[in-house]
Amino acid sequence: MTPDGEGLKILRARGDRLELGAVRPLREGAPITGEVVTLRPRPSFPALCDVETHFKPAQEASANDRQEPPPSAVVQRTGPAQVATDEYRRNWDAIWNRPVAKSKLAN
């Protein structure tokens, strides 16, 4: 058992090396702190499992596993951060980049 009581400590053979780790169930809304795997027990020895990796975080991925975005996907933009579409950006510019009209009313 892990100290938090939610997982199991494991010993994993990966290639020519052994790794000490822990497995925990995925929880909706909780951050993923490692790989997402499926364990398939072997019929002849159920305590021994084959591992299928579904997700590997970027810091753990090898250089060969990393994929760079194509140059066409990298675009320099101006305006507010994290805008979703070009239409949103055009509307933002239409609202915020026009000169402010001075009011003729007294304060």
In contact, 35 and 56? CB cutoff 8 Å: yes
Q: What is the pTM of this model?
A: 0.48
Tally of domains in the chain: 1
Judge whether 24 and 15 are in contact, CB under 8 Å: no
Within-domain flag for 92: no
Beta bridge partners of 18: 13
**Can you give the residue range of the structural domain that contains 30?**
8-60
Do 53 and 37 touch, CB atoms closer than 8 A?
A: yes
Residue 66 lies in a domain: no
pLDDT for the residue numbered 1: 85
Domain assignment of residue 97, yes or no: no
Instruction: Please report whether residue 89 resides in a domain.
Output: no
Asked if 90 and 98 count as a contact pair (C-beta separation under 8 A), the reply is no
Query: pLDDT per residue over 35-72, tens digit each?
Result: 999 999 999 998 899 999 998 887 655 555 556 666 66
